[in-house]
Amino acid sequence: MRASGSKIQQIASSVRPRTSAIQSTPYSWINNSTPSSSTGTLAGKSIAIKDNISYTPAPTSCSSSILQEYNPPYNATCVESLVSAGAHVVGQTKMDEFGMGSLTTHLPPFYSLVHNPASPSPDEPPRSAGGSSGGSAAAVAEESCWAALGTDTGGSVRLPASYCGVVGLKPSYGMISRRGIIAYADSLDCVGILAKEVDDVEQVFDVISQPDGGDMTCSSSSSRSIASKILQRHFPKNGIRGLRIGLPQEISISCPPSLIKYLKSQGAEIVEVSLPALSKALPAYYVLASAEASSNLGRFGGGWYGSSVEREKANKDESGEERRKRIRTEGFGKEVKKRILAGTWALSADEFNNTYLKALHLRHLLRGNYQSLFRIPHPLSPTRSITVDQGGIDMLLHPTAIRTAPVLKSRQDKGSDEYNQDLLTVPASLAGLPAMSVPSGKGKDGWPIGVSLTSQWGMEGLVFKLGKVVEGWSRGQPTG
Amino acid sequence: MIILPRWGLTRPIINGIISPKCNVRCYASSSKATLGHREEEEEGEGEGEGEEKGWETVVGLEIHAQLKTGRKLFSTASTSYGETPNTNVNLHDSAFPGTLPVLDLHAVRLSLITALALKCQVNPRSTFDRKHYFYHDIPASYQITQHYNPLARNGKLPIIKGDNNVKRSFDVGIHQLQIEQDTAKSQTVGENVLVDLNRAGTGLMEIVTEPDMRSAEEAGAFVRKLQGLLRRLGSGDGDMEKGNLRVDVNVSVHRHGTPFGTRCEIKNINSVRFLQAAIESEKKRHISHYLTSPSIPLKQETRGLNELTLQTFSLRSKEVATDYRYMPDSNLPAISVDPGYIDKLQDELPEMPWDSVDRLMILYGVSKRDVETLIGLDEYHFLGIKYYEDVVKGDDKKIAKKAMNWIVHELLGQIGKSGITWSPTLIPAELMRELVIAVEINKITGTTGKSLIKHLISMSIPPTTESTPSFTTLEEALEAAGLKIDDTVIDLEELSRKAISNQPKSVADYKKGNEKVIMRLIGEVMKLSKGTADAKKVKDVLVKLLNEI
C-alpha cells in the first residue's frame, strides 16, 4: 500500500502548490526557486511550512494583516534543520490568524479560503480543513507536498489532521525548538508535523527534534538521553503485545469498536481510566493561552510594526499611543482581539489571583492526573521513581474529533460543540505530552476521522509504534 | 552550580507568589497601615534648625545597576558604552517575532555574589516574569524582570558613623535584589522621538532598600558604599554619570512620633551630589507644605530634579497606578541554585572595602584616609591594597606605618606631580620594601630614597613597557640612578672635617657653648654630600669631632 518515494514525487508534481487571491488554496506563499539537488535524509522531499514559521524568503505573516509585509531576517531552527537534511520548502500555508481558531477561517480579507481536499465526492459543499494548521493539513491531503510543519497550541495540528485524513503529531513540549516560531502561547506552543503516513512523520521528527541553545525550553541532550533510555525499557518487544492502552471515561465519544478489537487481538491490554481534572482543562487553557497571547502580541503596533499600507494612513498629528491603537485595531482580526482582551483581563491586578493563578493550578492538577495514570516515569520529573504500577498505562486512546470536518460557512460561531471538541485536544497540550492523530477510517458522511494517541513525555517512539498499528488497521477497513 | 530545570512537570509554581507589589513596597505611603514598628527604632532627636526642627526625613532607594558582563542579559549583543545608536542590537533586543531569550549565566553569578555581599538570603528558586506596558522604549511591550520570586531578599549594608559625614552607625535593609532587563534609551528631538536600542536588554540588578535612611547624607553614604561594593565584586561599574548606576529615591517627611508622610519618588538622578540635593529639596518642600497647608494632603507623585536650580519638579501624579499585568515568563526556566554553589561563592567573596579599611587600621595602625587612598588606586581588584601588603609583608607596625607614608605620600605624591598613573609594576613591591627597610636601618637616607623614587618614575615617562628596566635589588636600582649607599663612616668624617674647616665661626660659637649652631655645620655637611648623608649620623660624627678639637 505504501507509495514509494518516486511515486510520491509523481503525485506531488501532479498537484502543484499554488497561490490564488480568488480560488481556494492551502498556500499563502509559494517557493518559486527550483530545488537544488541535495543530499541528506530528506533529500528530494518537499515540505510546506505554516505561515508562522520564520523563513527568510517568505513573508511570514501568521495570516494577519498586521504582519502583512513582514519578511523575517532569520530562519526558524526547525526550518534550518529541514533544509540541512536536504528538504525543499515548497511554500507557506494559511492558518487561523496567529493560530487562534480551529477552522482556518480567521483569515485576512485578501486571503482566499482553504478547502478540505478529503471530499468523498466533487458534489459535496466545501468543508473546513480544520485549524489552525488547516493550510498545512490540506497541503498534505491534496499531495502538493510530502509533509508539512504546523504548530499546535491546543490541537491545531491534530484536529486538521483528523478532518483532512492525514497523520498529525504534536510532540512533547520542548522536543522541537520554538526559535523562529511566532509565538501564540509560549508554554503551550509546539511545532507539529503533518504527513500522509506515520513513517514520514517519524522521519521528519527525527530530523527536527534536536536540542537548541537558542531556545531555553528546548530539551537538552541529557534529558533526551534519559527519555530514550526509559523508552527502551518500555518499548514492547513483540508488536504491541503487553502495551497497556487507557480509554478515558470522561470522554464520551468512543473509538471505532473494531479498532479496539483489533488492538486487543494484537496483544494490547485495553483499560478504562479516569482523568478527573479533565473537565477543568478548558477554562484553564483559555485563560492561560489568552493571557500569554495578550503578552506575546503586545509587540505588534506602535513604533515597531505596521505595513506600508498602514503607514500611508498615518496621520501626522496622531500621538504614538493613537497610532498604536489604530494599528492594533485595524491589524488584528476579531478573534485575535477577543483573545487579547480576555488575556489582558485575566492578567489585570484584580483578576490575576482569581483567574490566572487558578488556571495554573488546574493545569498542575491535570498534569498530576496524567502522571498518576502512566506506568512510564516522567523523564524530567525531579522525583523520578521506578514505580512499575501494575495498573498503570503506556498510552491513552480516544477520537481526535467529535465529528468530521464541518461545512465552511462565512461565519462560524463558537457553539458548545466546539468546546467539547477542544476537550479532546487541549489536555495533552496543557500537560505537555506527545499526542498524534492517525486516520481511523471514515465517518458516516464519508469524510475522514482520526484517533489520538497520547503517551508520557518524551515517548514519541511509543506513539509512532502504536500509530503504525492503527494505520495498518485503518488500511484494512472498507473505504467509503 | 546554577541549575536551570527544563520546563518539565512542575514549572510555574504558584506558592510564594506574594500579594501585589504595592504591599511590599508601601513603606512610606500615607496609608495608616504602614506605621508602627519602625517608629521605635527612631534615632536622631530632631536635628536641624528653625522650621526643620522636629521633623524627620525618611528615605528609601531603588537602584538599578547594570551588570558588567559585556553582553546583554538575554542576547549576545555587546553592551559597550558610547557606540553608534542601534548598533549593539540583536534580533531579540528589538523583539523580532519568534526570537527567544537565552539567559546569560554570568549575569546570574554576578548578581548572586552581589546578593551575598549584601548579606541577602538567596531564594532557592527564582523565576522570571513579564512586566507589561506600551511604550517606545520597550520593543516587546514587556520587560523581563523578577516580580514574584526575586533572586534574593532580606539583606543589609552597614553604614558607619563618619561615612559621608553621617552622624550614626546603622544598617540599611535590602528589601530585595532582582535581575531584569534595561529598556531602550529614548530622546525627543524636535517633533521626533528617537529610540536607541543599544541599551535595550542590558542586564540590571534592581536593588530595593528599606526606608532606613533619615537624611541626604545617609542616602549618599549608602550609594557610595554600594558603588565600592559593586566595583570590588566586578559586578558593576557603579558609574552614575554614564547611567550604569541609576538611583530613584523615595522621600517622605513626618514629625517625630507621627505617622509617615506622603512619599514622593524622584527619578533619574545622575550623581550622589544630585541625589543629596534632591532629598534636601524634597524635604524642604514637604515641610513647607505641611506647615503652610496642613489641611491639604501632599500629592503622591513622581518628580525629577532640575540640575541647575537643584529643585525637584513634578513629572507625573501617581494617583492613576499603572497595571503592569505581571505574568510568569514561560520562555525562561527557573533559576535554582545549589546550596553548595552558594557556599562556594560566599567563600570566594573578596574582602569588602570597609572591611579592608578596618583590617588594615587594626593590623597596621594606619589611618582610614590612607587605606582609602590605596583602595582608590584600583577599586576593582584592590591592587593598591595588595601592593601595600606586599611591601609590608606582615611586618610590625613600625615599618607598616613608614611603608604607608612612603607609598601614599612619597610615591603617589611624586606620581601625582608627574601625571602618570600608578601601577604595581612602576616600582615593584619587593624593591619598595627594600627601600623602606634601607631607610629604616639607615642604610640609605630618606633623601636618597626620595631621589630613587623620583628617578624610577622619570624612567617610566613616557611609559613604555619594553624599555622600562626592572631591578631586582635596591643596589642595582641605586646604581642605575647614580645614587650610592652611604655606607662609609670615613666619608662622613671627611666631609665633617671639611665642614668644620669651612665654618670656623660656627665652631667657635659651638665651643662657647651655643650648641644650636651645630645645625649650621650639619647643613654644610649635607650640602657637601649633595643631600646623601644621614643628618642624624652627621650630627654624631660632628659632635665627636668637635669634642676632639
Instruction: Determine which of B4, B18, B187, B325 to mutate to test the interface with A (most A C-beta atoms within 10 Å).
Output: B325
**Nine-digit cell at B498?**
671639611
Taking the C-alpha atoms of residue B148 and residue A343, their distance in angstroms, rounded to an integer, is 19
Taking the C-alpha atoms of residue A151 and residue A158, their distance in angstroms, rounded to an integer, is 10
**Domains, chain B, with CATH or none:** 2-6+29-38+48-340 (no CATH), 351-480 (no CATH), 489-548 (1.10.10)
Cβ <8 Å between B10 and A364: yes
Stretches in chain A below the pLDDT threshold 50: 1-13, 384, 388, 480
How far does the CA of residue A85 sit from the closest CA of chain B (Å)?
Answer: 22
Give every CB contact of residue B34 below 8 A, 6+ residues apart in sequence.
B26, B27, B28, B259, B260
Q: Is B434 left (phi over 0), alpha (psi -120 to 50) or beta?
A: alpha
The tens digit of pLDDT for each residue in A318-335 reads: 888 888 888 899 899 999
| Side-chain half-sphere exposure of B337, counting CA atoms within 13 A | 25
The tens digit of pLDDT for each residue in B249-298 reads: 999 999 998 999 999 999 989 999 999 999 999 999 999 999 999 899 99
Give every CB contact of residue A128 below 8 A, 6+ residues apart in sequence.
A103, A104, A105, A114, A116, A134, A163, A405, A406, A407, A408
Strand B170-181: give its sheet, edge to edge.
B121-122, B152-159, B170-181, B203-209, B55-66, B245-255, B264-269, B301-306, B311-317
Sort strands A190-195 and A27-30 into parallel, antiparallel or unpaired: unpaired
Q: Point out the catalytic residue in the list A132, A172, A219, A437.
A: A132
Displacement of CA A386 from its chain's centroid (Å): 31
Under 8 Å between Cβ of A441 and A474: yes
Instruction: Determine which of B2, B3, B7 to mutate to test the interface with A (most A C-beta atoms within 10 Å).
Output: B7
The residue among B438, B364, B372, B453 whose CA lies nearest residue B401 is: B364
- Among chain B, residues having any CB pair with chain A shorter than 8 Å are 4-12, 14, 17, 20, 91, 94-103, 130, 132, 134, 136, 139-142, 193, 195, 323, 325-333
Q: Which residues of B touch A298 (CB under 8 A)?
A: 132, 134, 140-142
Cβ <8 Å between B7 and A321: no
Cβ <8 Å between B139 and A217: no
Superfamily for the A5-232+397-475 domain: Amidase signature (AS) domain (3.90.1300.10)
Cβ <8 Å between B12 and A347: no
Q: Point out the catalytic residue in the list A28, A45, A46, A50.
A: A50
Cβ <8 Å between B140 and A74: no
How far does the CA of residue A364 sit from the closest CA of chain B (Å)?
Answer: 7
Instruction: Determine which of B127, B128, B134 to mutate to test the interface with A (most A C-beta atoms within 10 Å).
Output: B134
Residue A404: exposed, middle, or buried by beta-carbon count in 10 A (0-12, 13-18, 19+)?
buried
**Nine-digit cell at B548?**
676632639
Q: Is A444 a catalytic residue?
A: no
Which DSSP letter does residue A112 get? P
Quick check: pTM over 0.80? yes
Closest Cα in chain B to A219: B6
| Helices B397-404 + B429-440 axis angle, to 10 | 110
Give every CB contact of residue A318 below 8 A, 6+ residues apart in sequence.
A326
Under 8 Å between Cβ of B209 and B159: no
Complex-level ipTM:
0.94
The number of C-beta contacts closer than 8 angstroms across A and B is: 139
Cβ <8 Å between B102 and A213: yes
Q: Which residues of B touch A219 (CB under 8 A)?
A: 6
The residue among A375, A417, A91, A412 whose CA lies nearest residue A233 is: A375
pLDDT at A347: 96
Closest Cα in chain B to A67: B97
Taking the C-alpha atoms of residue B357 and residue B373, their distance in angstroms, rounded to an integer, is 10
Cβ <8 Å between B98 and A223: no
Stretches in chain B below the pLDDT threshold 70: 1-51, 318-320, 395-396, 461-472, 484-491, 530
How far does the CA of residue B476 sit from the closest CA of chain A (Å)?
Answer: 58
Give every CB contact of residue A107 below 8 A, 6+ residues apart in sequence.
A63, A94, A96, A97, A113, A333
What phi, psi does A423 have (nearest 5°)? -60, -25
Taking the C-alpha atoms of residue B494 and residue B492, their distance in angstroms, rounded to an integer, is 5
Sort strands A46-50 and A88-93 into parallel, antiparallel or unpaired: parallel
Give every CB contact of residue A237 below 8 A, 6+ residues apart in sequence.
none
How far does the CA of residue B192 sit from the closest CA of chain A (Å)?
Answer: 10
Cβ <8 Å between B134 and A324: yes
Minimum-distance CB partner of A371 among B9, B132, B139: B9
Taking the C-alpha atoms of residue A375 and residue A372, their distance in angstroms, rounded to an integer, is 8
Minimum-distance CB partner of A298 among B12, B14, B134: B134
Residue B31 burial (CB count, 10 A): 12
Closest Cα in chain A to B14: A357
Cβ <8 Å between B327 and A186: no
The residue among A219, A257, A45 whose CA lies nearest residue A149 is: A45
- Total number of residues shown for chain B: 549
Residue type, A432: G
Taking the C-alpha atoms of residue B329 and residue A185, their distance in angstroms, rounded to an integer, is 10
Q: Which residues of A touch B195 (CB under 8 A)?
A: 303
Cβ <8 Å between A186 and B330: yes
How far does the CA of residue B10 sit from the closest CA of chain A (Å)?
Answer: 7
Q: Is A37 a catalytic residue?
A: no
Under 8 Å between Cβ of B70 and B107: no
Would you give the end-to-end CA distance of chain B in angstroms?
A: 82
- Total number of residues shown for chain A: 480
**Nine-digit cell at A37?**
539537488
Minimum-distance CB partner of B327 among A183, A215, A291: A291
Sort strands A269-273 and A244-248 into parallel, antiparallel or unpaired: parallel
Give every CB contact of residue B153 below 8 A, 6+ residues apart in sequence.
B120, B121, B123, B174, B175, B176, B177
Q: Which residues of B touch A356 (CB under 8 A)?
A: 327
Minimum-distance CB partner of A302 among B102, B103, B134: B134
The domain locations on chain A are 5-232+397-475
Q: Is A50 a catalytic residue?
A: yes
Q: Which residues of A touch B140 (CB under 8 A)?
A: 298-299
**Nine-digit cell at B143?**
520587560
Q: Point out the catalytic residue in the list A156, A172, A429, A474.
A: A156
Instruction: Determine which of A50, A190, A222, A296 to mutate to test the interface with B (most B C-beta atoms within 10 Å).
Output: A296
Cβ <8 Å between B325 and A295: yes
